[in-house]
Structure 1
Amino acid sequence: MEFQRARRPEQVEQRRRTILDTACSMLRDRRVADISLRELSERVGLAKSNVLRYFDSREAIFLEVLDEEWGAWLDQVEADLASADGAVDVASAIAGSLVRRRLLCELISGMAGVLERNISVDCARAFKRRATARTARLADLVRARVPELDDAAARHFAGVVLVLTAGLWPHANPTDTVAAVLAELGAPPADELFRDGLTEGLVNQLVGLVARARAADA
Structure 2
Amino acid sequence: MTTSTYLRARSTEQKEERRRHLLHTARLLLLEIPDVHDFGINELSRCAQMTKSNVYRYFESSEAVLLTVLVEEFMIWHTELRAALGRGARHRGTIEHIARAFSATMAARPLLCRLTSVFPSILERNVSAERMVGFKQGLLNIRKETALDFHNCMPSISACAFEKFIHQALPLLIGLWPLSNPGEVAAQVMARPDLAALRYDFRRDLEEGLLMLLRSRLSE
Please list, as runs of the form range in 1=range in 2, the aligned pairs for 1:57-136 lying within 5 A after superposition.
57-83=61-87, 84-136=92-144
- Aligned match for 1:12, one of 11, 15, 31: 15
- Aligned match for 1:39, one of 34, 40, 43: 43
Measured against aligned partners, the alpha-carbon deviations of 1:156-215 in whole angstroms (never above 9, x if no partner) come to: 11122322111111112211110111011342896x621221111001111221122xxx
Measured against aligned partners, the alpha-carbon deviations of 1:5-46 in whole angstroms (never above 9, x if no partner) come to: 111111111111110001011112433112122111111112
What is the root-mean-square deviation of aligned Cα atoms in Å?
1.7
1:53 paired to 2:62: no
Amino acid corresponding to residue 135 of structure 1 in structure 2: R
**Between 12-21 and 113-122, the greater mean CA deviation after superposition:** 113-122
Q: Is the 8 A contact 2:41 2:52 kept in 1?
A: yes
Q: Is the 8 A contact 1:149 1:210 kept in 2?
A: yes
Measured against aligned partners, the alpha-carbon deviations of 1:106-133 in whole angstroms (never above 9, x if no partner) come to: 1111111111111111111111111110
User: Shift of residue 153 of structure 1?
Assistant: 1.2
Q: Is the 8 A contact 2:66 2:123 kept in 1?
A: yes
Amino acid corresponding to residue 18 of structure 1 in structure 2: H
Distance (Å, rounded) in 1 between the aligned partners of 2:39 and 2:181: 16
Distance (Å, rounded) in 1 between the aligned partners of 2:93 and 2:195: 35
Distance (Å, rounded) in 1 between the aligned partners of 2:59 and 2:95: 40
Task: Normalising by structure 2, report the TM-score.
Answer: 0.90
Q: Is the 8 A contact 1:24 1:65 kept in 2?
A: yes
**Between 167-176 and 16-25, the greater mean CA deviation after superposition:** 167-176
Q: Is the 8 A contact 1:88 1:207 kept in 2?
A: no
Runs of 4+ aligned residues of structure 1 deviating over 4 Å after TM superposition are none
Instruction: Name the residue aligned to 1:216.
Output: none
Distance (Å, rounded) in 2 between the aligned partners of 1:203 and 1:28: 31
User: Shift of residue 95 of structure 1?
Assistant: 0.6
Task: Give the secondary-structure state (helix, strand or coil) at the position aligned to 1:28.
Answer: helix
- Aligned match for 1:147, one of 155, 172, 197: 155
Across the two proteins, how many residue pairs are aligned to each other?
211
Distance (Å, rounded) in 2 between the aligned partners of 1:160 and 1:113: 17
Instruction: Name the residue aligned to 1:187.
Output: 196
Distance (Å, rounded) in 2 between the aligned partners of 1:125 and 1:198: 28
Amino acid corresponding to residue 34 of structure 1 in structure 2: D
Distance (Å, rounded) in 2 between the aligned partners of 1:65 and 1:189: 32
Q: Is the 8 A contact 2:150 2:159 kept in 1?
A: no
Q: Is the 8 A contact 2:117 2:175 kept in 1?
A: yes
% same residue: 35
Task: Give the secondary-structure state (helix, strand or coil) at the position aligned to 1:118.
Answer: coil
**Structure 1 alignment gaps of length 5 or more:** 213-218
Task: Normalising by structure 1, report the TM-score.
Answer: 0.90
Q: Is the 8 A contact 1:87 1:210 kept in 2?
A: no
